[in-house]
């Protein structure tokens, strides 16, 4: 039998509430560690990972990869630029387009943050078996819709 979390049956039996609570707890732990160790947030690490994978891309491509609205992505990018993790270049063809690329510092911080986060993930998910972790991932992928982009949190 599992231990009660909220003592409120309507919340205890609500999958969305529990899924959200688990994510918020993980996000809190991750953001606290990443802030101290790397001066970044979990969202910023996501942006660094996208840029490391895709290389130099328009800001819109970053927003699409992160499934976030443009205005939220702009704030995220601005915070990365302030920390010297990302550089912006204007396109010769489209003067409005902002092209983003990781700086050497951005690569270094991404790698350090990845190591920090890997340890946190292992600890956070330690109550689950490998199979349960895989099941959660596959179920979450089934729930994610293509037509919804995230706003600021």
Residue 81 domain-assigned? yes
Which pLDDT belongs to residue 146? 82
**DSSP assignments along 92-109, one per residue:** SS-TTPEEEEE-HHHHHH
Residue 93 domain-assigned? yes
Which pLDDT belongs to residue 1? 55
Q: Are residues 33 and 44 in the same domain?
A: no
Q: Are residues 108 and 48 in the same domain?
A: yes
Sheet with 57-58: strands ordered across: 57-58, 98-102, 86-90
Which pLDDT belongs to residue 152? 61
Q: Are residues 26 and 49 in the same domain?
A: no
Cα 42 from chain centre: 5
Residue 120 domain-assigned? no
Q: Are residues 48 and 95 in the same domain?
A: yes
Q: Are residues 50 and 94 in the same domain?
A: yes
Residue 149 domain-assigned? no
Which pLDDT belongs to residue 7? 84
Which pLDDT belongs to residue 83? 97
Q: Are residues 68 and 31 in the same domain?
A: no
Contact 65, 48 (CB under 8 A): no
Counting the structural domains of the chain, the total is 2
Q: Are residues 62 and 108 in the same domain?
A: yes
Report the chain (153 residues): mean pLDDT per 10 consecutive residues: 80 91 95 96 97 94 92 94 95 81 97 95 96 95 83 63
CATH assignment of the domain containing 56: 1.10.10.10
Residue 30 domain-assigned? yes
Which pLDDT belongs to residue 66? 94
Strand 57-58 and strand 98-102: the pairing is antiparallel
Give the range of the structural domain holding residue 108, as residue numbers without chain letter.
40-114
Which pLDDT belongs to residue 76? 95
Residue 126 domain-assigned? no
Q: Are residues 27 and 86 in the same domain?
A: no
Question: Which of 75, 23, 66 lies closest to 46 in space, CA to CA?
Answer: 66
Q: Are residues 89 and 31 in the same domain?
A: no
Helix (H) or strand (E) holding 87: strand 86-90
Which pLDDT belongs to residue 74? 93
Q: Are residues 46 and 107 in the same domain?
A: yes
Q: Are residues 17 and 44 in the same domain?
A: no
Residue 119 domain-assigned? no
């Amino acid at each position: 039998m599992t231990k009660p979390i909220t003592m409120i049956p309507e919340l205890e039996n609500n999958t969305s509430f529990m899924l959200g609570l688990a994510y918020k707890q993980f996000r809190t732990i991750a953001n606290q560690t990443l802030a101290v160790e790397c001066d970044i947030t979990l969202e910023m690490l996501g942006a660094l990972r996208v840029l490391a994978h895709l290389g130099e891309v328009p800001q819109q491509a970053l927003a699409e990869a992160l499934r976030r609205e443009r205005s939220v992505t702009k704030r995220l990018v601005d915070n990365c630029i302030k920390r010297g993790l990302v550089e912006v270049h204007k396109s010769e063809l489209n003067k409005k387009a902002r092209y983003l690329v990781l700086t050497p510092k951005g690569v270094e911080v991404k790698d350090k943050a990845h190591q920090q986060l890997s340890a946190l993930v292992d600890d956070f998910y330690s109550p689950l078996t490998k199979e349960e972790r895989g099941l959660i991932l596959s179920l979450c992928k089934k729930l994610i819709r293509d037509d919804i982009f995230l706003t600021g949190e």
